[in-house]
Amino acid sequence: MFHFCDIQISPDTKVADLVLENPYLALMLEHFGIAFPLKEKTVVKLCTENGINVDLFISLASLFSGTSKEFTNNLVFEDIPVILQYLKNDHQYFTDEKYPQILALIREMKSSSNQEEIVLVEKFFNEYFAEVVEHLKYENEIVFPYVTRLYKALHEKNAAYADNGYSVEEYREHHDNIEEKLSDLKNLLIKYLPAKDDQSSRRRLLTHLFELESDLTIHSKIEDHVLVPLVAQMEKHVKGKSQ
């Protein structure tokens, strides 16, 4: 869920202050592998400790805070492993945490009213999630290994780079619109599905759906505006050399 705050994040900003202002940043820290307690550590201190480019951290934190307009150009190829790990952690969060939470709440709604609509909602959500999983699987099995191979070709001497004809352009095209179903689900729950003693589970379900949506939005922004441009640059280097 976007939480708008006006803190302009600088390297000297205390990270704890950012999280106090916007608790959703806790998720970002988790994906970066940064653990609580944060004490009085500044952005630059925390990034140095965890091997994260300060510009990358500030870009993502601004994205979470809704203050970001443009991405920094100060990212370098060396940021690739951190970005990949971040995205992988996010994948795991979807499948291991968010999905079971949402499904449990839909089932809770189903148990308080075994209406046909709720049964269909469960089916609908499962279809939606199957699409998400397919997308994640594609990234885990095709995109990320490809990016890793490129990265190694650039950084390790004598690393053989086998060009299998794949390019980041293909990945860009593969990005399909999986947000529609999520938006439908929210509309149905908020506007149309008749209530049957399910107010509390419905409210909690909505909170989770909004969180999921916001995280997915940030996830695809990172892919489109951080990963894809960096990979395109790496391709130029590697493939330009080999030709």
Q: Which of 37, 165, 194, 240 binds another protein (CB under 8 A)?
A: 194
Burial class (CB in 10 A: 0-12, 13-18, 19+), 73: exposed
Using CB under 8 A as the binding rule, the residues of this chain from 103 to 162 that contact another protein are: 116-117, 120-121, 123-124, 127
Question: Is residue 176 a contact point for another protein (CB under 8 A)?
Answer: no
Site string for another protein, 56-95 (x = CB under 8 A): ----------------------------------------
Question: Is residue 206 a contact point for another protein (CB under 8 A)?
Answer: no
Cα–Cα distance measured from residue 194 to residue 116, given in angstroms and rounded to the nearest whole number: 11
Choose the binding region for another protein from 20-28, 30-38, 49-57, 175-183 (rule: CB under 8 A): 175-183
In degrees and rounded to multiples of 5, residue 8 shows phi and psi of -80, 120
Q: Which of 134, 197, 236, 237 binds another protein (CB under 8 A)?
A: 197
State the number of CA atoms in the 13 A half-sphere of 146 facing the CB: 22
Question: Is residue 181 a contact point for another protein (CB under 8 A)?
Answer: yes
Bond preceding residue 100 cis, omega within 30 of 0: no
Question: Is residue 212 a contact point for another protein (CB under 8 A)?
Answer: no
Q: Which of 73, 162, 165, 192 binds another protein (CB under 8 A)?
A: 192
- What are the Cα distances from residue 189, in Å, to 47, 107, 206, 241? 41, 14, 8, 54
Angle separating helix axes 99-112 and 199-222, nearest 10 degrees? 160
Give 60's contacts (C-beta < 8 A, 6+ positions apart). 28, 86, 218, 222
Give 141's contacts (C-beta < 8 A, 6+ positions apart). none
Using CB under 8 A as the binding rule, the residues of this chain from 21 to 50 that contact another protein are: none
| Nearest-approach distance from CB 173 to another protein, in angstroms | 21
The count of chain residues that interact with another protein, using the rule CB under 8 A, is 19
| Nearest-approach distance from CB 52 to another protein, in angstroms | 38
Site residues, another protein (CB under 8 A): 116-117, 120-121, 123-124, 127, 180-181, 183-185, 187-188, 191-194, 197
